[in-house]
């Protein structure tokens, strides 16, 4: 499945400055692998060592938080719009 992925500013160093990139995958997990092939290091910024989504990273498929779907197993369809949105947090 070919999808569009919106990249937040701090990760654009990895995507040659692009705010939107194309990716493919059957699931979010596949998509992250595909993106990591094109933009090495991006998956590590989004997932921890055990592969779980980092606490301060939110991923949306057509505006729906993947945590409320099947997480990294969430199935993608052609033309889906994926947004990577860092949390706004601090102390």
Residue ranges in contact with another protein by CB under 8 A: 8-10, 56, 58, 60, 63, 65, 83, 85-91
- Which residue number, 17 or 91, has a Cβ lying nearer to Zn ion? 91
- DSSP strand pairing (2-6 vs 81-86): parallel
- Asked if 90 interacts with Zn ion (CB under 5 A), we say yes
Dig out the tokens for 17 from the structure. 């400055």
From the list Zn ion, another protein, none, pick the one residue 50 interacts with, judged by a Cβ distance below 5 to 8 Å according to partner type: none
Q: How far is the CB of 88 from Zn ion (least distance, A)?
A: 11
The two most distant CA atoms of the chain are separated, in Å, by: 40
Give the whole-angstrom CA distance, residue 26 versus residue 87: 26
- Which residue number, 17 or 90, has a Cβ lying nearer to another protein? 90
């Amino acid at each position: 499945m070919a999808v569009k992925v919106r990249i937040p500013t701090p990760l654009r160093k990895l995507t040659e400055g692009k705010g939107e990139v194309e990716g493919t995958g059957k699931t979010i997990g596949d998509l992250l692998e595909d993106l990591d092939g094109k933009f090495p290091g991006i998956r590590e910024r989004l997932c921890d060592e055990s592969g779980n989504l980092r606490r301060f990273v939110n991923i949306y498929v057509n505006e729906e938080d993947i945590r409320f779907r099947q997480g990294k197993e969430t199935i993608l369809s052609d033309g889906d719009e994926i947004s990577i949105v860092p949390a706004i947090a601090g102390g």
